[in-house]
Amino acid sequence: MRKVITYGTFDLLHYGHINLLRRAKSLGDYLIVALSTDDFNEIKGKKSYFSYEQRKLLLDAIVYVDEVIPERTWEQKKEDVINHDVHTFVIGDDWKGKFDFLSEFCEVVYLPRTEGISTTKVKTDLNKQ
């Protein structure tokens, strides 16, 4: 079984997130999503509208997602890849090059972002109304 892992906050879930999850799942048989915890988001300077548990509930309901695990630190990626026997690490291409160090342990794939949508854009558009 080919396992794929991706990481994110997945707040204000939108079709760009779904596209990423669909494409990530197509690279293997089993998709693990490491979801940023509320405490980790605070460390990153991010504020989510939905709590970790609410975001996890949303991700668990998506057909492409097989498992959701907590992301608590930047450093855990290597451990996750090894401990979950991951074959492919997937993330948006806005992070291109940032996680190349993982190629020692698995394939690293940077997927193009979906044009015209992001959580930042959703928040900006809502604030204009």
Annotated active-site positions, please? Answer: 44, 46
> What are the tokens at 50?
């939905």
Helical ranges in 6-89 per DSSP H: 15-25, 38-44, 52-60, 76-83
Nearest Cα residue to 4 out of 21, 36, 20, 27 = 27
Q: Is 85 exposed, middle or buried (0-12, 13-18, 19+ CB in 10 A)?
A: exposed
Q: Name the percent of the chain in helix, strand, coil, to the closest 5.
A: 40, 20, 35
